[in-house]
A and B are shown apart, each in its own frame.
Chain A
Amino acid sequence: DGGITQSPKYLFRKEGQNVTLSCEQNLNHDAMYWYRQDPGQGLRLIYYSQIVNDFQKGDIAEGYSVSREKKESFPLTVTSAQKNPTAFYLCASSLRDVNSPLHFGNGTRLTVT
């Protein structure tokens, strides 16, 4: 079955540590995205990539970094510079057609204490 896999589902880290969230897709989609979801707020775009070896900052990129070395993979690193990292992180992919839907993974819930 085609889809997006995010791992792990739950992640716990101490403050000051960097952590990397995995996102893999086998839908052959060119575009991939990272969103952050907080209670009572709409999804906010962190980073996106429309092609291998290229990515762009979204609305809230500070404290995050990404790479896109393979079409299938778009890992997100939450660095110690992110002031409030505890959140639900969603990865998505789509065709590059503006009218194509986003296909989301089932998220990683990150808790930093």
Chain B
Amino acid sequence: KNQVEQSPQSLIILEGKNCTLQCNYTVSPFSNLRWYKQDTGRGPVSLTIMTFSENTKSNGRYTATLDADTKQSSLHITASQLSDSASYICVVSGGGADGLTFGKGTHLIIQP
């Protein structure tokens, strides 16, 4: 069964600090890995998509890494801001419109 596991479940850090969120997956076949940001009560917004051949991708202060051999990904947030408070969801695609497996998300709280 395809699975995406995210850790930690929740995280609290001070504004200005860096943090790293983890995603481990057992999805086969593998097409791409995505990170989404979801603010409370709103829909997720895409941060990055990485294919098998990409091992790092940045979007502003967000940097995602992918190790396809160990089936692990991380999302690093630099110099956190209050607006980074959200849930971050890791999604792995096995190909096909119905081939997405969603993680449960990491709930991040940035404190002033």
A contact residues vs B (CB 8 Å cutoff): 4, 6, 31, 33, 40-45, 48, 50, 56, 58-59, 90, 92, 96, 98-99, 101-107, 109
A6: which B residues are within 8 A, CB to CB? 43
Assess the B34–A101 pair: CB atoms within 8 A: yes
Q: Is B102 an interface residue (CB 8 A)?
A: yes
B contact residues vs A (CB 8 Å cutoff): 4, 31-32, 34, 36, 41-46, 49, 51, 89, 93, 95-105
Assess the B42–A107 pair: CB atoms within 8 A: yes
Assess the A104–B104 pair: CB atoms within 8 A: no
Given contacts A42-B105, A59-B98, A102-B36, 18 further A-B contacts (CB under 8 A): A42-B4, A42-B89, A42-B102, A43-B44, A43-B89, A44-B102, A48-B97, A48-B98, A56-B97, A96-B97, A99-B31, A101-B46, A102-B44, A102-B100, A104-B43, A104-B44, A106-B43, A107-B41
24 contacts between A and B (CB under 8 A): A4-B43, A31-B97, A42-B101, A42-B105, A43-B44, A43-B89, A43-B102, A45-B98, A45-B100, A48-B98, A56-B97, A56-B98, A59-B98, A90-B43, A90-B44, A92-B43, A98-B32, A99-B49, A102-B46, A104-B43, A104-B44, A106-B43, A107-B41, A107-B42
A33: which B residues are within 8 A, CB to CB? 97
